[in-house]
Structure 1
Amino acid sequence: MTHHVTAMVVQAEAARYLTASPDRLDQTLTAVSDTGRRAITDLRHLLDLLNPDHGTEARTPSVGRLLTLVEQTRRAGQPVEFTEEGTPAESTGSADLVAYRVVQEALTNALKYAHGSRTSVQVRHAEKEITVEVSTDGSGSRAGSPGGSGRGLAGLRERVDVLGGDFSAGTQTAGGFVVRARIPAGSPS
């Protein structure tokens, strides 16, 4: 959800400069509205997760939601290359949701701290795990290590740890930032 709100802010800021171009202004405002709707959907999803008595059906994001997230980030001005390999296991459960959140938080950070940097998102589905890598090349504005509170990344580390996975985030030697996660999926062995 933080990703959606960040994208809305970036899109709204861009709209300020588009008043002389009605077509582009309309596209940007449509993107802000669409992003707001996604934020509401994510908020409802989060509230459902926080209230375990609400509904019993699985509420994990579909594979298509990753592509939607990438497209939304592109519309906010971030050049993103997206690669997805393998086929998601039928019963990934929490792993699928955690993988989605890793991508979401990493793209939010890319928008905030490396806006305009070439960004790569790689998601690999294997039989027993999902691996995620999101990196920026440091070419955009405010490139470098995120200067935020670090709570988003710490929260991701906790989510991945709970599932028995591995998580790392940090600057790359050639510049930019990289977030990596290995998340066990499917039936426990």
Structure 2
Amino acid sequence: MTDTGGGGPRPRGMRWREGTLTAIVFAICLLGGALRVDDQSLGPPPATAYLIAVATCAVLPLRHRSPLAAMAVTTAGGVLVPPLGLLLSPPIVAPAVVTAYSLAVRTERRTATEALLASAALLVASNLLFVFDTLSWQDVSRVAAVAAFPLVAGVLGQSTQNRRAYLAAVEERAWRAEESRDSEARRRVAEERLRIARELHDLVAHQITLANAQATVAAHLFATRPEQTRKSLDELVETTGDALDDLRATVGLLRQSGDAAEPAEPTPGLSRLPTLLESFRRAGLEVSVHQEGTPRSLPLGVDLTAYRIVQEALTNVTKHAGTGSARVRLSWSQDRVTITVADDGGGAHTPQPDRPPGYGLIGMRERATAVGGQLSAGRRPEGGFLVSTELPLPPAKDTARRTGEPATIEDRTSDGDAP
């Protein structure tokens, strides 16, 4: 398909360049019209040479918009050279050489090849018709040069077109790569924001829920049991202090300009589950634990996910269940660990109508999905609420038992008490 680009107004510099090129080609064409076979000296070009030069050079500025039409006109001018008594030589077909280059640059290869071969054939045939009877080696070499010049210009034009296409493809790939990097950066920022939001939610919700429960107990016992009230207030101070320390550590990580050499404290995992359960017991929630199977060490991401799910599930029990007890069960199998948290309360585990919806269940489900697990939550047929998650385990041969792993969790119930 012909490229018709360049039909709009041209810059001033471009017009000067076109004018200069046209003048140079016009002079070369006139020089070719002044050549003679039998006379090596140059004389003034005849009127017919001016006619050919003007006709063929006049279409040169149009070769950008209509290269095929310009090629046809310049070829026709070359075909008329022998009938007008002029010598068909490479200089006199200079306009055809220029249009051949533009044609190859601006049209597809097949169209340009067919047009250039047809042009060369017409130029050769027109000359041979007039010198066939007196054909000499000099005539053969001259005609071969006349046919070769436009073809060579076409090859150069095709090379230029290929180079432009290659550079355009490279630029397109670079642009797409830049877009892909920007998209990947935005995706990573969104994932990081979501991760930070989950961590802050789990941290704040857990600590504030415990502080609220302890404050409620202290207010309830203030008049009747002052000693117990003081104990609850001491636990409240400890809980709020822990919350401030955790928030300070989290915000400190967010304010770092580079990657920390190592975290300020170990990442929470199931090894810290006894401490977590004890904090809920101090807030008035009686938590029992049961395990099945042989506990195994977990990858850091899965270990943190298991810890946070238990933490959030027990926080929801404290906030919504309306009961003073909950049961945690860990079931270890060959390729997964199943964690369930259940209660017998009558709470809905859903936000009240005058409160905005929370993100506890959403965050737990996102955490489980992120490590290749799954989570379900809902009411139990016998009453209460159940949160259950299955998290994948690595092959047993690739892990080693770590000190302080879930095997140290206190077994507080029997099989029959498990949810």
Letter in 2 for 1:67: P
**Pairwise CA distance, 1:7:** 0.8
1:146 aligns with 2:345: no
- Alpha-carbon distance between aligned partners in 1 of 2:323 and 2:288, rounded to the nearest angstrom: 13
Pair 92,56 (structure 1): closer, same or farther in 2 beyond 3 Å: same
Runs of 4+ in 1 over 6 A off after TM superposition: none
List alignment gaps of at least 5 residues for structure 2. 1-202, 399-419
Native 8 Å contact 1:83 1:122 kept in 2: yes
Using CA pairs under 8 Å that are at least 6 residues apart, name the structure with larger relative contact order, 1 or 2.
1
- Alpha-carbon distance between aligned partners in 1 of 2:238 and 2:214, rounded to the nearest angstrom: 11
Aligned partner of 2:231 among 27, 30, 38: 27
Letter in 2 for 1:10: A
Pair 69,132 (structure 1): closer, same or farther in 2 beyond 3 Å: same
Report 1:43-62 matches (<5 A): 43-44=247-248, 46-47=250-251, 53-56=259-262, 59-62=266-269
Pair 80,137 (structure 1): closer, same or farther in 2 beyond 3 Å: same
**Pairwise CA distance, 1:75:** 1.9
Aligned partner of 2:328 among 114, 121, 128: 121
Native 8 Å contact 1:79 1:116 kept in 2: no
Letter in 2 for 1:94: G
Q: Normalising by the residue count of structure 1, what TM-score does the alignment of the two structures yield?
A: 0.83
Structure number having the greater strand percentage: 1
Letter in 1 for 2:317: A
Letter in 1 for 2:383: G
Letter in 2 for 1:18: L
Q: How many residues align?
A: 185
Matched residue SS, 1:17: helix
- Alpha-carbon distance between aligned partners in 1 of 2:327 and 2:246, rounded to the nearest angstrom: 23
- Alpha-carbon distance between aligned partners in 2 of 1:164 and 1:134, rounded to the nearest angstrom: 20
Letter in 1 for 2:289: F
Q: Alpha-carbon deviations, 1:125-163, whole Å to 9, x = none?
A: 455433210011125xxx234226241111111111011
Structure number having the greater helix percentage: 2
Letter in 1 for 2:285: Q
Q: Alpha-carbon deviations, 1:10-38, whole Å to 9, x = none?
A: 11122112223221012101211222233
Native 8 Å contact 2:305 2:368 kept in 1: yes
Pair 95,145 (structure 1): closer, same or farther in 2 beyond 3 Å: same
Report 1:26-175 matches (<5 A): 26-44=230-248, 46-47=250-251, 53-56=259-262, 59-85=266-292, 86-89=294-297, 91-126=298-333, 128-138=335-345, 143-147=347-351, 149-175=357-383
Q: Alpha-carbon deviations, 1:84-124, whole Å to 9, x = none?
A: 453331x5211111001000100110001113243111123
Pair 76,136 (structure 1): closer, same or farther in 2 beyond 3 Å: same
Equivalent residue number for residue 165 of structure 2:
none
Letter in 2 for 1:26: R
Letter in 2 for 1:138: G
Give the stretch that moved more between structures: 6-15 or 37-46: 37-46
RMSD across aligned positions (CA): 2.7
- Alpha-carbon distance between aligned partners in 2 of 1:108 and 1:40, rounded to the nearest angstrom: 18
- Alpha-carbon distance between aligned partners in 2 of 1:15 and 1:170, rounded to the nearest angstrom: 32
Pair 124,154 (structure 1): closer, same or farther in 2 beyond 3 Å: same
Letter in 2 for 1:168: S
Aligned partner of 1:3 among 206, 210, 232: 206
- Alpha-carbon distance between aligned partners in 1 of 2:342 and 2:253, rounded to the nearest angstrom: 28
Matched residue SS, 1:167: strand
Native 8 Å contact 2:371 2:391 kept in 1: yes
- Alpha-carbon distance between aligned partners in 1 of 2:219 and 2:324, rounded to the nearest angstrom: 22
Give the stretch that moved more between structures: 41-50 or 130-139: 41-50
**Pairwise CA distance, 1:74:** 1.8
